[in-house]
Structure 1
Amino acid sequence: MTAPRLHRALEASFDELSARVPATIGVAIAYPDEVRSLGPWSVGVAWSTIKVPLAIAALRNDPSRADDLAVKAISQSDNAASESLWSQLGDPTEAARQVQAVLREGGDSTTVVESRRLRAGYTPFGQTQWALRDQARFAANLAGVPDAAVVLDLMNRLVAEQQWGLAAKGVAAKGGWGPGVEDGYLVRQFGILPTELGVLGVAMAAEADTFQTGVGVLNTLTEWLFNHSDGLAVTGPSLD
C-alpha cells in the first residue's frame, strides 16, 4: 500500500472513531519535519499540560527551591506546587516570559503564555491557549530542551489515578483538564510516542460532558493510536 493511500485510510479510520465517541476530539502528531492533525478540536485551554514548561523554567531558575515542587507539579499535577514554581520566576509577566522561552526552545514558535488570572480559582498559566499542533511539536523536541531530563523522568512517574491515555501505555506524558466557562469539560494530554521512525510528539484532546467521559475518550483515542502505529510511522504526504 502506498503512503498516500495509507494516510487516507488513517483519516477515514479516525473519522469513524470521531463519529462514535461522546466528545469532540482532536489529535496532532509531530514528525521531524511536519505536524499532522486529525479531528475538529484543535486549540484551547492548556490546563495542567503547561506545567511541563513551567517546571523546566523553575528548575533552571533555582533547582534547590524548585526540585520538590516540580515533583508534585508533574507527577501529582498539584496546583499549589505549580503556583509556587510560578512565583519563583518573578512577577507574572516575567514568569510568563520564562515559561514561553522554554516553549520556543521546544519548537513552539506561536503560543503566548497567559500571565493574567482570567478565571477566579484557576491558575493564570493554565489558561494559556495551546494548540495541539504546537503542543505536539514541543513534545517531539522536548528531549532536546536543556534541563528537561528531570521533568521527562517525572512524566514517566505520574500517580496511579493520572495514568490514563498515553500514560497508561508507559509513555512519558502529562495531562490537563478543567471545566468550560459555560458547560462541557476539556481533557487533554501530550506525550512522546516511540515508533519505527523514532520518537514522535503526540497531543490529543477531548471536549466532553464530564471529566470521566473525557478520560474514557482519550483512552479510546490512545488505543487507536497504538493500533495504527505502523501507519503513523509511514512517511509521505500530509493528511492536512
Structure 2
Amino acid sequence: MSTQPNPTLQQSFEELSATVPAIIGLAVAAPGRTDASALGRWSTGVAWSTIKVPLVIAALRRDRSRAKDLAVNAITESDNVAAEVLWSQLGDPADAARQVQTVLREAGDADTVVESRRLRPGFTAFGQTRWPLDRQAWFAAHLPGLAGAVGVTDLMHQLCSDHRWGLAAKGVAAKGGWGPGNAGDYLVRQFGFFPTESGYAGVALAAQTAKFQTGVDVLNRMTDWLVNHFRELTGQ
C-alpha cells in the first residue's frame, strides 16, 4: 500500500533522520492517489493508543448513549480505563476486535488485524495491534467520511494540553499513542488528517527512541518537516 516519494524528498527526510536520536518513519495518503507515500526506516509496530479512534467509533455505533461520555475521555485524555470499558461494551474480545476491524476495513485498511489477546500484562489487548504507518495514513485520509466519525474527529481537535504535540500542536485533528518496547526502547506515534481542496490527506508518523519526551520532541521536528514539504508530498 506504500510507494516511495521522489528522490529529493527522500534525501531531505534522510537528512532529518540523521539529526534526531530515533528511528523514524512517515506515511502520507494524498487525495486521488491509490497508495500512501512512505519515508524512513520505521514502518510498522504496535498501535498503542492510536487504535482508540476506530475503537471509539465502533463503540458509538454499538450503543451511543452508553459510549458517548467514555469516548470523550478515551480520545481527549487517552484514558485507558475508559477505552477498556468501551472495549468491553463490544462483547467478548474476539467480537470486539472484529467490530473495530470493521471500522478499519470501511476506511480502506484491508489488512490490519486488531489484536484481541492481552499479549503483555498491564497493557490493553487492542493497543498491541500492529498497525503499519502506510495503512494508518490511509485510514486517516478516509476517516472523516466514515459513518459516525464526525463526533470523533471533533474530539481529535480537542486533545488535552499534555497531548498537543506533533500534528496536534499545528491544530490538526490527531491522536497519539506511546509505550515501552521490549528492549529498553520507547515508541511514540501519531496520526491525523489535513483538509485539502480535493479531499483529505492522511498522515502517520512514528519515532522509536529511548524515552517518551524524546519521541515527542522528534515528532515535533517531523511535523515541522511535513508541513514544510506538504505540497510536494501531496500535490495539494
Aligned to 1:224: 225
Aligned to 1:134: 135
TM superposition score normalised by structure 1:
0.93
How do 1:185-204 residues align onto structure 2 when only pairs under 5 Å count?
185-195=186-196, 198-204=199-205
| CA deviation vs aligned residue, 1:193-216 (integer Å, no higher than 9, x gap) | 234654210000000100000000
Aligned to 1:89: 90
The SS at the match of 1:43 is: coil
* Aligned mates of 1:232, 1:30 — CA distance in 2: 9
Does residue 143 of structure 2 align to residue 125 of structure 1?
no
| CA deviation vs aligned residue, 1:156-198 (integer Å, no higher than 9, x gap) | 0000000000000000000000000121100000000234654
| Letter of the structure 2 residue corresponding to residue 106 of structure 1 | A
The SS at the match of 2:45 is: strand
Aligned to 1:179: 180
CA contact (8 A) 2:142 2:200 kept: no
Aligned to 1:20: 19
| Letter of the structure 2 residue corresponding to residue 160 of structure 1 | S
| CA deviation vs aligned residue, 1:199-236 (integer Å, no higher than 9, x gap) | 2100000001000000000000000001112212328x
CA contact (8 A) 2:29 2:234 kept: no
* Aligned mates of 1:10, 1:182 — CA distance in 2: 31
* Aligned mates of 2:7, 2:66 — CA distance in 1: 50
| Letter of the structure 2 residue corresponding to residue 99 of structure 1 | V
CA contact (8 A) 1:133 1:203 kept: yes
* Aligned mates of 2:35, 2:196 — CA distance in 1: 16
How do 1:38-53 residues align onto structure 2 when only pairs under 5 Å count?
38-53=39-54
| CA deviation vs aligned residue, 1:40-91 (integer Å, no higher than 9, x gap) | 1000000000000000000000000000000000000000000000000000
* Aligned mates of 2:198, 2:187 — CA distance in 1: 30
Aligned to 2:59: 58
Aligned to 2:168: 167
Aligned to 1:3: none
Structure 2 vs 1, CA of residues 106 and 183 (structure 1 numbering), >3 Å: closer, same or farther? same
| Letter of the structure 1 residue corresponding to residue 160 of structure 2 | V
CA contact (8 A) 1:27 1:39 kept: yes
| CA deviation vs aligned residue, 1:108-151 (integer Å, no higher than 9, x gap) | 00000000000000000000000001000000000111101110
CA contact (8 A) 2:28 2:234 kept: no
* Aligned mates of 1:100, 1:232 — CA distance in 2: 28
Aligned to 1:102: 103
* Aligned mates of 1:168, 1:192 — CA distance in 2: 13
- Please provide the CA RMSD for this pair: 1.2
Larger displacement relative to structure 2 (100-109 or 194-203)? 194-203
Q: Sequence identity, in percent?
A: 63
Aligned to 1:11: 10
* Aligned mates of 1:147, 1:81 — CA distance in 2: 19
TM superposition score normalised by structure 2:
0.95
Aligned to 2:117: 116
| Letter of the structure 1 residue corresponding to residue 29 of structure 2 | A
* Aligned mates of 1:135, 1:175 — CA distance in 2: 12
CA contact (8 A) 2:133 2:205 kept: yes
CA contact (8 A) 1:166 1:173 kept: yes
* Aligned mates of 1:75, 1:158 — CA distance in 2: 4
The SS at the match of 1:44 is: coil
